[in-house]
């Protein structure tokens, strides 16, 4: 009988790494200049604050799936409003316990 082990904590990306990747993905999709991408806040709303439309949100979900090797269910993508929502969703889909937003 073989036993499959879950990924070790060391294999999980750190929350800060996930945040940086999400900032890059969101900023590129929103057409932001590279120097402005690092100014994206976790509380920024994709549509109201960053100027994304519904197609951009779909593209962001696809990029996140590719970046992290996960599948984002439609209901999760539809409920995503802020950058922090994406970060927490990625961490949960990777099997990490969600951390409090700093």
Burial of 101 (0-12, 13-18, 19+ CB in 10 A): middle
Helix, coil or strand: residue 27? helix
> Is the Cβ–Cβ distance between 83 and 42 less than 8 Å?
yes
**Look-up of token digits 């590129």:** 28
The catalytic site residues sit at 53
């Amino acid at each position: 009988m073989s036993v499959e082990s879950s990924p070790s904590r060391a294999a999980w990306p750190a929350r800060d790494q996930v945040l940086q990747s999400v900032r890059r993905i969101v900023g590129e999709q929103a057409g932001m200049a590279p120097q402005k991408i690092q100014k994206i806040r976790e509380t920024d709303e994709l549509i109201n604050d960053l100027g994304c439309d519904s197609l951009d949100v779909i593209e962001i979900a696809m990029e996140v799936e590719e970046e992290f090797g996960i599948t984002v269910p439609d209901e999760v993508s539809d409920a995503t409003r802020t950058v922090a929502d994406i970060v927490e969703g990625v961490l949960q889909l990777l099997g990490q316990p969600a951390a409090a937003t700093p």
